[in-house]
Structure 1
Amino acid sequence: MPFGEQPAYLRVASDLRKKISDGSLPPHARLPSQARIREEYGVSDTVALEARKVLMAEGLVEGRSGSGTYVREVPSARRVARTGHWTMEECTPFRQEQSDERVRGTWESRSEREEASHETAERLFIEPGDTVMRTRYVFSVEGEPVMLSTSWEPLALTGRTPVMLPEEGPLGGRGVVERMAAIDLVVDNVTEEVASRAGRAEEMAELGGVPGHAVLVVARTYFAGKRAVETADVVVPADRFKLAYHLPVR
């Protein structure tokens, strides 16, 4: 194949993708059959099949059992705002994950003790097997699940204190900054690492997506000085959301 020339299946996928983009193949329209693609583009069955697989892997089309393959309705990416300002003002779990004041949401959660995995221990600067409080959140906007979060807090810091359970007690439902201040830990810095990976089946079931489609994962850790007080993984579907950062310049 000459340098720079695309394989036939990618050329076919590119043309079909363009038709989806410009509305020639609108949402819910049936994708041309494998035989139709073969005839229209003058390619083999194998090429036609691989082109369809590309579009399916990109999340542009979906198969319906016994019916065929259809163009998916992909919503415009919604904004998940992150910020460099971490205060106690209206610092709820939803607000600490979505700092856009225009967005109002709700959450459900569940907390339980567990032994820290090697990864969690490394992020919290504790020993593997140390006891942590794990809390799983499902965040929703207008009744639609939009974001997942799993947080871990070392019980060596919060155990037997009023803030041991993030969603119970006098400061239940408040953010990490305010809760830690109640036990004399001043949160003054936070780190975030953003990566992408395939969405796991259980995650996509909660978020209403397709297993294997890409998600963005924000690995966030709160610090009081050099002491890690909480670490969390925030998961959002990459095809429905974008992360927006507003960071102060000193």
Structure 2
Amino acid sequence: MARQPRYLWLADQLRGPILNGEMPPGTRLPSRTRLARSYRVSEQISRTALRLLVTEGLVESRPGSGYFVRAVPEVFRICRTDSSSGSGLGRLSREEIGTEQEQCSPPLSSRLRLREGDPVYRTTSRGLSSRTPITLHLSWEPAVLTAGTLRAPFDGAHDAGLLERLSAVGHPVDRVVEEVRVRALRDSEASLLGSAPGIPVLVVERTHYSGSRPVETSDLIGSVEQCRLLYKLTLARPRRPGDPRRY
């Protein structure tokens, strides 16, 4: 069996006490030099081991201060099978930021099957926990669907919800498609979430259809550390002998 690299061995020596609580959140780890002396390794190995623990999210580096054990972030489970087909924020409170009209641009034009430059309504909101932003929700819908009616997203009927608004103007939603991916947080999103640009985030792309036509699409964005997506699937029960047939 190949010998384990020394930096992995050293990371194991530090990871154990962190995970079992011997080194609680906020504990300052020994410096690279002290680790190298204590474990008889080079400073390059101790530096690499510490960076690995930072990558794993167990340790954070504070410039000028050293390395510290990170607090375990609170996790929020976001249900994606809510009955109203809304954003599914769970126990997060919703904060509406506003709705604006803008021109459709790629890749949004592909998602909504619109031409570049077509007007769309963009609605921005956040999911909060004790006033702290956890998720960001951006949704877009073709302006042509509700323009000139009282069912546009910025009208009073907005309180009725997406499905009711679109159904009232002749576009009942009968299908929802979601795609989940991970990407880096963008600058414009980071300012709304109070986070640093570039951190990995979960993005749930949800599109509502009326027949074959996409009538709204949205991005639900949240930190991969704090957000979990909860899906509940109902399966058809197998027919048992003696059960009545359904036609």
Instruction: State the distance in 1 between where 2:80 and 2:45 align.
Output: 43
Supply the AA of the counterpart residue of 2:170. Answer: D
CA deviations 1:161-181 (Å, max 9, x no partner) are 2222x2x32312342111111
The DSSP-based 3-state class of the residue aligned with 1:13 is: helix
The DSSP-based 3-state class of the residue aligned with 1:43 is: coil
**Greater CA drift, 235-244 or 128-137:** 128-137
Match of 2:181 in 1: 195
> RCO higher in 1 or 2 (8 Å CA, sep ≥ 6)?
1
Q: Does 2:107 match 1:110?
A: no
Match of 1:245 among 226, 231, 236: 231
Instruction: State the distance in 2 between where 1:52 and 1:235 align.
Output: 29
Match of 2:241 in 1: none
Instruction: State the distance in 2 between where 1:40 and 1:150 align.
Output: 51
Greater Cα radius of gyration, structure 1 or 2? 2
1:33 positional shift: 0.8
Supply the AA of the counterpart residue of 1:36. Answer: R
Q: Is the 8 A contact 1:123 1:231 kept in 2?
A: yes
Give the 5 Å matches for 1:1-250.
5-83=3-81, 85-86=83-84, 96-98=86-88, 100=90, 103=91, 105-164=93-152, 166=153, 168-249=154-235
How many residue pairs align between the two structures?
A: 236
TM-score (norm 1): 0.84
1:185 positional shift: 1.1
1:233 positional shift: 0.7
Instruction: State the distance in 1 between where 2:109 and 2:96 align.
Output: 25
Instruction: State the distance in 2 between where 1:130 and 1:53 align.
Output: 47
Instruction: State the distance in 1 between where 2:196 and 2:30 align.
Output: 22
1:190 positional shift: 0.4
Structure 2: which 5+ runs fail to align?
A: 237-247
1:231 positional shift: 0.5
TM-score (norm 2): 0.85
Instruction: State the distance in 1 between where 2:48 and 2:187 align.
Output: 24
CA deviations 1:168-201 (Å, max 9, x no partner) are 3231234211111121211111011111123335
